[in-house]
Chain A
Amino acid sequence: AQTVTQSQPEMSVQEAETVTLSCTYDTSENNYYLFWYKQPPSRQMILVIRQEAYKQQNATENRFSVNFQKAAKSFSLKISDSQLGDTAMYFCAAENSGGSNYKLTFGKGTLLTVNP
């Protein structure tokens, strides 16, 4: 079974600054994917970024990047040049891609507030 831990229930950052959200996971699988989802007040779950475990290169999507440390089972999200629209709940998730059901296991989330 997989577990995902987000140790920061809440964080805040000033607009235009950089913030890093932490995530650790535990899995016995060799093939897996890691994801960060954003949930704004609208409640919609929006994919921010994904990382394939077999790739050493860290994924990047515009202002969002990850620091993937496979040996340490760490998958942190860095948001650069924070914007007011980044205010949301952020969920880290792991998927077992070696099986046949692609189930996601989520962390409990980090509430990020961007202050003007």
Chain B
Amino acid sequence: NAGVTQTPKFRVLKTGQSMTLLCAQDMNHEYMYWYRQDPGMGLRLIHYSVGEGTTAKGEVPDGYNVSRLKKQNFLLGLESAAPSQTSVYFCASRSRGTGVGTDTQYFGPGTRLTVL
């Protein structure tokens, strides 16, 4: 059981380049989330999905797009990267439930992205 995995772990982009971050989970979770973590800011929600084929905006969605074509995958895209998008990106997943073992978000290891 790999849990939540993220690809790649590190990436350096030039301003204006595009890229896609891949999140995969093998726990059959319905819910998936993308966060960014900046120094002194905690984690902030970018986009999330409540099921295959659905996406919704979080707190800081500008400059990002997402897709959930398969239940186990959640993609985060940057169409035209900007230095302000330099951050550490975390993916998380959660099952639909409110009991012990089902009410927790499980996080991937993170992707460190630098935009020059």
Binding site for B on A (CB under 8 A): 4, 9, 33, 35, 43-45, 47, 50, 91, 95, 97, 100-109
Contacts and interface: CB of A to CB of B under 8 A. Distances in A.
7 contacts: A33-B98, A43-B88, A103-B33, A103-B48, A107-B42, A108-B42, A109-B42
B42 A91 contact: yes
A67 to B, nearest CB: 21
Contacts of A102: 31, 94, 103, 105
Contacts of A50: 103-104
A100 B90 contact: no
Given A43-B110, A108-B42, A101 B50 contact: yes
A6 to B, nearest CB: 8
Q: Which of B33, B58, B92, B105 has the most A CB atoms < 10 Å from its CB?
A: B105
Nearest to A97: B98
Contacts, number: 51
B109 interface: yes
Given A102-B31, A108-B40, A97 B103 contact: yes
A59 to B, nearest CB: 11
Contact of B41 (A33, A97, A100, A108): A108
A33 B90 contact: no
A14 B41 CA distance: 27
B77 to A, nearest CB: 21
Nearest to B38: A108
B43 interface: yes
B109 A106 contact: no
Given A101-B56, A103-B48, 19 more contacts: A4-B42, A9-B40, A43-B88, A44-B107, A44-B109, A45-B90, A45-B107, A50-B104, A95-B103, A101-B48, A101-B50, A102-B31, A103-B33, A103-B45, A104-B43, A104-B105, A105-B45, A106-B43, A108-B42
